[in-house]
Amino acid sequence: MSTHFNADVLVIGSGAAGLTLALSLADKHRVHVLSKSQISEGSTWYAQGGIAAVLDDDDSVEAHIADTLVAGSGLCHEDAVRFTVERSKAAIGWLISQGVNFTRNNGGDTYHLTQEGGHSHRRIIHSADATGQAVHSTLIERVRNQPNITVHEHHVALNLITQADTGSRKLRCSGAYVLNNQNDRVEVFQAKAVVLATGGASKVYLYTSNPDSASGDGIAMAWRAGCRVANMEFNQFHPTCLYHPKAKTFLITEALRGEGAVLRLPNGERFMPRFDKRAELAPRDVVARAIDHEIKRLGCDCVYLDISHKSPEFITEHFPTVKARCLEFGIDITREPIPVVPAAHYTCGGVVVDTDGQTDLQQLYAIGEASFTGLHGANRMASNSLLECIVYAQSSAEHIAANLDRIATPDTSPDWDESRVTNSDEDVVISHNWDELRRFMWDYVGIVRTRKRLERAAHRIKLLKREIAEYYSNYKVSSDLIELRNLATVAELIIRSAAERKESRGLHYSLDYPELSPVARDTVLVPTNFAGQDVIVSKNA
């Protein structure tokens, strides 16, 4: 028999978006938060750079909007961009009120702002080079002290629970089946509103700057439940991930380039000015493609990011985390350049939502990297992502709070049925398929794509999904199996989206279609069980 939990709101994910939403509702509502691992694990914790916001008198909302629209290569939704940027100052104010300790100028009253690729002004507020950790640790502390929030660590969401809503003739989301990794049992979580704050899907690629949790769980669950997804072909590859055999997914923050670091070939030659007049401050897709081009042209393993011309004191003050981490691998960034390669970093597409974070499925919301708001377009501009997390978490919380009293308590859902499955003695199937999936996605659906590569990837994913479905039907679920199943779903969505785009735009670059189409369109995929359509509701429901 499954254990059942009930709350007003269920938040799946424990990063900046999920915890902000939980804190915004907890004064009056009971909130349960699910964390795949310990609560401090996830992409937020590892975010180094900062948060973009209009905080300086020389900057303006219009300038921030204009920069974002340029970076998005014609696909940003201007209403979503304006919605986010206009709320940026208030979002930072809220974080400061929670206790986030942002870096100040010489310890004074004003905050230090830095500049990153694509931005025309210094507008990145940060906490040295560990902003994500500063934000996340503060929110975690606040959540721990909030009696109306219950955190369930080591809980992995498996599938969303849906019920027919007799009033609207639509499906509604009423909870989720969740694997408790502490006892290997599937539990039932039910709530009036469910929020996906599960992060992105960069783990679908062999090389990524993200932690293992970035397996596209929320996107895959929403798709299976009937929600549209959009622009999954736009996967941002961070240009500079530390290249070292023992360094797993350590990102070298873009703020280094914002403070004057330059990219060099193995012979010491600087190369970015040949690719873009903005050189190292060009948008990430331009820099990543330039690095990829040079690595393939020269047959070298990596390129080098050099900030050693700055004083050791400056480097130590602004980049203590990067300096310390590189020293662990024998690299002194005050004296020598850092070996770097591009790595999958951010999923610009996701579950289609409105400015309230609502998906196509009633009472289901998606916020943060799992969502598609229209903010990022074809290329996310640096440090807009944490801003999006806070702004949309707050707007979703406002919408949930305004409507929660009108939502009926969901019917009790049945227990998870494990009567026809057994324990697996062939987990090697999972590890092999996981490795194969991530390798062919890197080779065929990476920084540069072709029609032939996408066809090969589509063929492979069809076979893999068949194997995974058979395995899923016969054996008890595990975290690895859940993540593999979700990654396969997300990989298929990425491949389908990339194949539909017959142009090169932003993060999607095709050798077969190198030109920019005169018409900018989103790639919207609609599931066969689309939740926006009416459902037949039983009179006894």
Q: Is 284 a catalytic residue?
A: yes
Residue 338 burial (10 A CB sphere; 0-12, 13-18, 19+):
buried
Dihedral of alpha carbons 528, 532, 535, 541, sign: positive
Burial 237-255 (b: 16+ CB within 10 A, else e): bbbbbbbbeeeebbbbbbb
In the chain, what's the furthest Cα-to-Cα distance? 75
CB atoms within 10 A of CB 424: 16
Distance, CA of 523 to CA of 501 (rounded, Å): 7
Go through the chain and tell me how many residues it has: 541
Please report, to the nearest 10 degrees, the dihedral formed by the alpha carbons of residues 206, 73, 42, 101 taken in order: 140
Distance, CA of 410 to CA of 417 (rounded, Å): 20
Is residue 535 within 8 Å of 169, Cβ to Cβ?
A: yes
Q: Residue 424 corresponds to which amino acid?
A: S
Distance, CA of 441 to CA of 444 (rounded, Å): 5
Distance, CA of 484 to CA of 472 (rounded, Å): 10
Is residue 33 within 8 Å of 406, Cβ to Cβ?
A: no
**Within 246-331, where are the H helices?**
255-258, 284-298, 312-318, 320-328
Distance, CA of 145 to CA of 136 (rounded, Å): 14
Given the residues 228, 257, 284, 325, the one annotated as active site = 284
Active site residues: 284
